[in-house]
């Protein structure tokens, strides 16, 4: 079990990461809204990213409210059921974040495929028609899927060993089966979809680079420009998710096998995951990234003592090598 000082430290860390996450995602939403006003319509990728950003913000706010209530109301003066309801909302938002991220990576995997594969073409057409419906359906499905957690998060979990007003320690066989089911449907299945998307992107990237290098006779390094940035973003999202998956697996193992409540750790690493993935989303769009660097440098200019933290906004021009 976590000590009181450890719980307090986690609470402070989650507050810090929540500030970063909310800032990054509000920035994404504002930039997307600015693009909508200029173009007059939402692109499918911007619709998915905006939905993901909004879900990240809600997840951070509600998670921090739950942690604050747990810290301030040690004696559970509020109804224990209210703690459980808030925790169910946290789990449903986490479900939505992971599935929308998987949806985004799968969307880019179909978009970046070079060869005109019939199956991918049909999927792209479906995305263009129903992307808004999907980003609305995912949170609804997430909330419906998490409703049975109310029975798992029962007040019976409040024991001498369990100091929280609500926890993910399963009660009985049905509780254990449901927690395993939730882990599979919210982490493993979207994780497999992300892996499939990253493999597809990597294979087609290798084929494309080989064709470009062949066409250039090997004298020039092939460049993909903005496409390479999107590829880096997608692969980065998958790597960050796999790291988060290992932590989540540990949390569920401790809950089921050891009957220990490490919910604080789960929310901490969820906060870190959303913060890092939000930064990767900004990196994926060049205009977002350049704007963020500009804001960062403007902030540093106000404090000369932080001049060493300034980041160059434009890459240095490559030096041309003289011919042989």
User: For residue 155, which of 82, 97, 72 has the smallest C-alpha distance?
Assistant: 82
Distance CA 60, CA 264 (A): 13
DSSP assignment of 287-323 equals: HHHHHHHHHHHHHHHT-GGGGGG---SSPPPPPPPPP
- Both tokens assigned to 290: 């350049």
pLDDT of residue 158: 46
DSSP assignment of 129-181 equals: HHHHHHHHHHHHHHHHHHTTHHHHT-GGG--SS--SSS-----HHHHHHHHHH
In sequence order, which ranges of the chain are alpha helices (DSSP H)? 4-39, 44-72, 80-112, 118-146, 149-152, 172-183, 189-215, 226-256, 263-284, 286-301
Distance CA 143, CA 307 (A): 46
Cα atoms in the 13 Å half-sphere on the side-chain side of 260: 12
Q: Is the pLDDT of residue 75 over 80?
A: no
- Both tokens assigned to 176: 């254990």
201-216 as b/e: b if 16+ CB within 10 A: beebbeebeeeeeeee
pLDDT of residue 2: 61
- Both tokens assigned to 31: 């930039």
Around Cβ 318, how many Cβ atoms within 10 Å?
Answer: 6
| pTM of the model as a whole | 0.84
Q: Is the pLDDT of residue 317 over 50?
A: no
Q: Is the pLDDT of residue 119 over 70?
A: no
Distance CA 11, CA 120 (A): 44
Task: Give the chain's largest Cα–Cα span.
Answer: 81
pLDDT tens digits, 273-292: 999 999 999 988 888 888 88
Burial of residue 229 (number of CB atoms within 10 Å: 0-12, 13-18, 19+): middle
* Domains of the chain: residue spans and CATH: 4-300 (1.20.1070.10)
pLDDT of residue 316: 45
pLDDT of residue 23: 93
Distance CA 49, CA 67 (A): 27
How many residues in the chain?
324
Q: Which distant-in-sequence residues (6+ apart) come within 8 Å of 173 by Cβ? A: none
pLDDT tens digits, 238-279: 999 999 998 888 887 877 776 666 778 888 889 999 999 999
The residue that leads in pLDDT, 215 or 324, is 215
pLDDT tens digits, 191-227: 998 998 888 888 777 776 666 666 655 444 445 566 7
| Phi/psi-derived region of residue 159, left when phi > 0, alpha when psi is between -120 and 50, beta in every other case | beta
The residue that leads in pLDDT, 322 or 195, is 195
């Amino acid at each position: 079990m976590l000590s009181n000082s450890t719980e307090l430290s986690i609470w402070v860390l989650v507050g810090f990461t929540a500030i970063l996450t909310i800032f990054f995602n509000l920035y994404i939403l504002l930039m997307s809204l600015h693009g909508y006003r200029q173009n007059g319509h939402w692109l499918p990728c911007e619709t998915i990213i905006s939905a993901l950003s909004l879900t990240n913000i809600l997840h951070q706010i509600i998670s921090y409210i739950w942690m604050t209530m747990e810290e301030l109301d040690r004696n559970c003066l509020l109804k224990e059921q209210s703690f459980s309801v808030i925790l169910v909302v946290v789990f449903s938002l986490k479900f939505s974040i992971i599935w929308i991220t998987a949806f985004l990576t799968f969307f880019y995997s179909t978009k970046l495929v070079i060869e005109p594969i019939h199956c991918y073409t049909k999927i792209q057409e479906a995305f263009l028609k129903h992307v808004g419906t999907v980003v609305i359906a995912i949170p609804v499905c997430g909330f419906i899927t998490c409703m049975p957690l109310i029975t798992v998060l029962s007040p019976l979990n409040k024991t001498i060993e369990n100091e929280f007003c609500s926890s993910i320690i399963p009660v009985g066989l049905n509780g254990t089966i449901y927690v395993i089911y939730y882990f599979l449907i919210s982490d493993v299945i979207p994780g497999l979809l992300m892996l499939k998307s990253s493999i597809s992107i990597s294979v087609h990237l290798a084929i494309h680079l080989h064709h470009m290098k062949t066409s250039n006779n090997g004298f020039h390094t092939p460049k993909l420009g903005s496409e390479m940035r999107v590829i880096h973003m997608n692969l980065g999202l998958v790597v960050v998710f796999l790291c988060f998956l290992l932590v989540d697996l540990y949390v569920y193992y401790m809950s089921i096998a050891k009957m220990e409540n490490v919910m604080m750790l789960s929310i901490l690493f969820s906060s870190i995951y959303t913060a890092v993935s939000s930064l990767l989303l900004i990196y994926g769009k060049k205009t977002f990234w350049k704007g963020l660097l500009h804001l960062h440098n403007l902030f540093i200019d106000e404090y000369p003592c932080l001049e060493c933290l300034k980041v160059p906004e434009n890459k240095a021009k490559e030096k041309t090598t003289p011919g042989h």
